[in-house]
Amino acid sequence: MAVERLRPALLPITLAMAFMFAVTLLWTTSAESKPGSKPVPEDRTTNIQLLGVNDFHGNLEPSTRRDQPGRTLGGAAYLDAYLDRYESANPERTIRVHAGDMVNASPLISSYFHDEPTVYAMNEMQFDVGTLGNHEFDEGGEEMLRLINGGRRSDGRQFKDGADGQPINTSDPDFDGADFPYIAANTVYKDTGKTVLPPYQVVKKDGIKVGFIGVTTLETPNIVVPDAVAPFNYLDISDTVNRYARELQEKGVESIVVLAHAGGDQLGPAEAVGEIFDETRQMSDAVDVVVSGHSHSQLNAQVDDKLVVQAFSFGTAFDAVNMKVDRKTKDVISANAEIVNTYNEGVTPDARTAQLVAEYKARIAPISERTVGAAAENITRTANASGESPLGDLIADAQRDFAGAQFAFMNPGGIRADIASGPVTYGELFAVQPFDNQVVSMDLTGAQIYTLLEQQFPPNQAPNTVRILQVSGLKYTYNASLPEGQRITSLTTTGGAAIDRAATYKVAVNSFIATGGDRFTVLKEGQNVQTLGSDLDALEAYIDGLPTPFSAPNPATEQRITKQG
């Protein structure tokens, strides 16, 4: 379905919402003029506004957020209305940007159509420039470039099961891709060293040239299917930024913004940790603002006179950055930001984007609204102190049953949503496991299983790099403070029998970690490897075999994972 894309007229927002826009200010940070600079007369400055979005993940419909209980936020049509509202306050000096992960790991309304609906929605929102996140690579470089450049999908993965169970091509024959530029400075082809996309883009507003440099997290090779990222190298973020910042300055561009799909956590107004903060500290003074993504965080902090911002995820918020620029030097002399929540109540959604979403919702309804079971209570992916969750246990049990295996292992990063109590639809299950992974069985020795569990703890032990596998058929105890190779202190079957390091066991995993994803490289040594079917089919079949309404294992009473130390 080709959807006409025109700039929608700004729709009214109620007075109450206008007031809320004026007072909503979370973690607002004002940047003073750069050290050593002289005051600049106001009549020699202009204000350039950046509106930034990150980690949209195809969330075309409104959703909720844990820190905003009872509130509905986001949805492409509402996000579009908010962006229009903010641009209307500074129409000639506004630049719309995104920091990656706009597609993939998406709900069925977008994923079923290969995320083409999300690209159409981005075009409606009239972004000026965007960069790549790690999820843009989920289905490989060819598909990543197709979503940017256009063309109907034809790689063999264009077919999805229709409502009658028969495969149909769900890619739009008239799909023409993104109508704004993507940039990627630190992603290069291994064989040539050339960048996959242009490293930067210059956008001119009110006589000021603003240079944008795009970079992607160095975690990407470890958290994307290895085959998908095999053709690429990901270069050091700050070194790459500094290289292209110099090049921009040589071209007379002094206002420089980094679109960085790299995250962190803001612990307070003056305390922040994580990759984006480490890299920003190493960036040259030429950089003025960093619009970041990846960690789904709220960031609004100063790092060595650079403003770093991030606005949660799924379109439930956006960054509104104001840069005061000296017209003479063309440099940013101060910057501050507001993180704006996209509450739905009282807001009229953008009409054209709402129509786009409604059309795709109608098309997917026969598939997404099919009821597959009923949950007796909420089943959450929230892990306890040991790293175990009810939903993780349920999924691991489903894959072990599907494969007829003795044990199963599930990576927590592959569990993307909770299951709410009551009727459960296929669309809800898809939101839980949206990656279209396959269930893979293989033989591992007991020694390899020990190694697999040790690989949960990388050498650097950074908190966001520890990934506690959800398990079925097993119980284990770990102490992360012990030396590498000694952290698994107990490993038995659920019946209490010790795992024999010399014996061979049949295990089930998904295709992502089976190929070494999330650094579980020992799985590439498995023998008698068989691909059995989709992880979503496995979960649906398992739920179908449970009593109705079904429940998940309770880690509090059926503990499989124990943390020591």
Q: What average pLDDT does the chain have? A: 92
Residue where one domain finishes, among candidates 309, 329, 360: 360
Residue 5 pLDDT grade (very low, low, confident, very high; cuts 50, 70, 90): very low
**Reported pTM:** 0.88
Domain membership of residue 20 (yes or no) is: no
- % of residues, the chain, pLDDT over 90: 88
Domain count, the chain: 2
84 shares its domain with 109: yes
Q: Please give the Cα distance from 374 to 368 (Å, whole number).
A: 15
Give me the residues paired with residue 195 across strands.
188
C-beta separation of 95 from 48 below 8 A: yes
> Residue 420 pLDDT > 80, yes or no?
yes
Is the residue at 533 inside a domain?
A: yes
Domain-embedded: residue 393: yes
The 10s digit of each residue's pLDDT in 12-26 is: 444 344 433 343 433
Query: Do residue 315 and residue 450 come from a single domain?
Result: no
- Mean local confidence (pLDDT), 368-392: 97
Give the confidence band of 451 by pLDDT, cuts at 50, 70, 90: very high
Same domain, 140 and 289: yes
Q: Would 356 be classed as within a structural domain?
A: yes
pLDDT at 84: 98
Q: Are residues 355 and 378 in the same domain?
A: no
Query: Which CATH number belongs to the domain containing residue 67 in this structure?
Result: 3.60.21.10
Tell me: do 376 and 351 sit in the same domain: no
What are φ and ψ of residue 466, in 5° steps? -80, 125
pLDDT above 70 as % of the chain: 92
User: Number of helices and strands (H, E) in the chain?
Assistant: 15, 29
φ/ψ bin of 310: left (φ > 0), alpha (ψ from -120 to 50), beta (otherwise): beta
Answer whether 83's CB lies under 8 Å from 98's CB.
Answer: no
Cα-only R_g, the chain:
24
Return the pLDDT at 462: 58
Q: Is 177 left (phi over 0), alpha (psi -120 to 50) or beta?
A: left
- Is residue 80 a contact partner of residue 320, using CB atoms and an 8 Å limit? no
Q: Which residues pair with 533 in a beta bridge?
A: 439
Q: Which residue has the higher pLDDT, 16 or 391?
A: 391
What is the per-residue pLDDT for 16?
A: 40
What is the per-residue pLDDT across 26-82, written as a single tens digit (0 to 9) for each? 333 333 455 456 678 888 999 999 999 999 999 999 999 999 999 999 999 999 999
Q: Is the pLDDT of residue 346 over 90?
A: yes
Indicate the pLDDT class of residue 463, thresholds 50, 70 and 90.
low
Exposed / middle / buried, residue 176 (Cβ in 10 Å: 0-12, 13-18, 19+) = middle
H/E run at residue 167? strand 167-169
Question: Among 308, 336, 360, where does a domain finish?
Answer: 360
pLDDT for residue 135 is more than 60: yes
Q: Helices marked H in 230-347 — which ranges?
A: 237-250, 275-281
Q: Which one, of 308, 368, 385, 372, lies nearest residue 339 by Cα?
A: 308
What average pLDDT does range 74-99 have in this prediction? 98
Any domain includes 556: yes
The residue to which tokens 């007072």 are assigned = 23
Is residue 295 domain-shared with residue 442, that is, in the same domain? no
Distance from the Cα of residue 429 to its chain's centroid: 18
- 61 and 116, same structural domain? yes
Closest by CA position to 503, among listed 445, 451, 441, 442: 445
Q: Are residues 392 and 324 in the same domain?
A: no
Residue 28 within a domain: no
What's the rounded mean pLDDT across residues 295-310?
97
Domain boundary among 294, 329, 360: 360
Note whether residue 18 is domain-resident.
no
Has residue 189 got a pLDDT over 60?
A: yes
Same domain, 416 and 484: yes
Strands 422-425 and 232-234: unpaired
Confidence band, pLDDT 50/70/90 cuts, at residue 464 = low
Confidence at 461, pLDDT banded by 50, 70, 90: low
In whole angstroms, give the CA distance from residue 382 to residue 400. 21
Query: Please, which pLDDT band fits residue 165 given cuts at 50, 70 and 90?
Result: confident
Per-residue pLDDT at 11:
40
Q: Is the pLDDT of residue 336 over 70?
A: yes
- Give how far Cα 471 sits from Cα of 26, 83, 245, Å: 39, 43, 47
Same domain, 423 and 320: no
- Residue pair 408/532 in contact (Cβ under 8 Å)? The answer is no
Domain shared by 385 and 342, yes or no:
no
What contacts 355, CB < 8 A, 6 or more positions away?
Answer: none
Q: Residues 341, 487: one domain?
A: no
CATH label of the domain that carries residue 533? 3.90.780.10
Which residue range is the domain that position 76 belongs to?
34-360
Q: Does residue 144 belong to any structural domain of this protein?
A: yes
Instruction: Report whether pLDDT(458) > 90.
Output: no
**pLDDT for 490-535, tens place per residue?**
999 999 999 999 999 999 999 999 999 999 999 999 999 999 999 9
